[in-house]
Amino acid sequence: MAKGSGMIKPNMATMLAYITTDAPLTSEACDAALRAAVGRTFNRITVDSDTSTNDMCVLMASGGAGGEAIAPADAAFGPVAQAVHLVCGELARMIVRDGEGATKFVEVTVRGAASEHDAELAAFAIADSPLCKTAIFGGDANWGRVAMAIGKSGACVDPGAFDVVFAGIPTCAGGAALPFDEDAAAAALARHEVDIVVDLHVGPDSATVWTCDLSYEYVRINGDYRS
């Protein structure tokens, strides 16, 4: 189980997550499985880019299933670690869907980056951008907002090489605008789940980040926070 809502951008940011298994994992195996999973699940979400002093993610193994203890080097470790990763991913996406004022779940994927770190930088820049988030809320396939975000991200970007696919609709190729049907784009962005895919065309690596839109309700909730 996990608690999220707002003030969410792990590492870990007002997020509480408790995962249990009856597999007989050793402490070292719990640590290895959870660290590997968290890096590409809980640490790849953002609701509003804000963080906090209060956070926790725990994996507890009861050993109730019986059998020999499972250490990181054992053959049985791989399937259990994969299951832990699956559960962490599901919980992480649930936190985003429950984001304060969220009306849309957004998956941002950056491909063709010079490194995985660069891909993460660019993906988070898009996912954290108020202009990108409000464009998604408003149903506006404004790929210029995405270009702005990757440009300021610190990732290696070739302005004449990147492509943007907004809600399944190619909107930019080689850093230049593509003609597209605005009505079709608005209809695609009206769905509750939206994807943004950017290909930087400068390397082999990729990263995916999950976020939500920024709505009037988010402003109301946080504007009235202490009222």
Residue numbers annotated as active site:
14
Measured at the CA of 172, the angle between CA 167 and CA 173, to 5 degrees, comes to: 125
Query: Which residue shows structure tokens 């980056």?
Result: 113
Residue 124: CB partners within 8 Å, gap ≥ 6?
46, 153, 209
Tokens of 138: 């408003």
Rounded Cα–Cα distance for residues 151 and 184 (Å): 27
Bridging pattern class, strands 105-113 and 163-166 = unpaired
Burial of 67 (0-12, 13-18, 19+ CB in 10 A): exposed
Please give the helix or strand (H or E) that residue 117 lies within, else none: helix 116-128
Do the beta carbons of residue 4 and residue 220 sit within 8 Å?
no
